[in-house]
């Protein structure tokens, strides 16, 4: 689990409303209405997919030989871009992070 921290740099207080919708996290931030014409959008892009490695182990005594113990997961390199819109027009975009998520191995028991 990751904690997301940020600092309110506005001269106004903010209200944060976070919820999930269609398997996505949505965070709405409300503040002074003088900011109504500004909108920020975060977009993520998968730059690279890492294949699932295979690992063989004899440490699972309750599993049969050759039994799949864990299916594993692909790894990813992901870039997050913040786009700023003013009055509906794209004003700027900035890469705010590039993160690598390591693949998790597919594990077979060989006892």
Per-residue pLDDT of 14-64, as tens digits, reads: 999 999 999 888 888 888 888 788 888 999 999 999 999 999 888 766 666
61 contacts 52 by C-beta, under 8 angstroms: no
For the chain, the helix, strand and coil percentages under 3-state DSSP, each to the nearest 5: 5, 60, 40
User: What tokens does 78 get?
Assistant: 């992901």
Domain parsing of the chain, residue ranges: 37-109
Tell me: pLDDT of 1 over 80.
no
pLDDT tens for 63-95 read 666 788 899 999 999 999 999 999 999 999 999
CATH architecture of 37-109: Single Sheet (2.20)
Q: Report pLDDT for 4.
A: 76
């Amino acid at each position: 689990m990751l904690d997301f921290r940020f600092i309110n740099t506005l001269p106004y207080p903010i209200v944060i409303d976070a919820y999930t919708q269609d398997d996505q996290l949505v965070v709405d931030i409300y503040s002074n209405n003088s900011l109504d014409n500004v909108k920020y959008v975060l977009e993520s892009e998968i730059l690279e997919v890492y294949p699932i490695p295979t690992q063989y182990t004899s440490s699972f005594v309750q599993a049969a030989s050759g039994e799949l113990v864990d299916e594993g997961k692909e790894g990813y390199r992901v870039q997050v871009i913040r786009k700023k819109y003013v009055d509906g027009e794209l004003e700027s975009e900035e890469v705010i992070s590039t993160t690598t998520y390591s693949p998790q191995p597919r594990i077979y028991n060989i006892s």
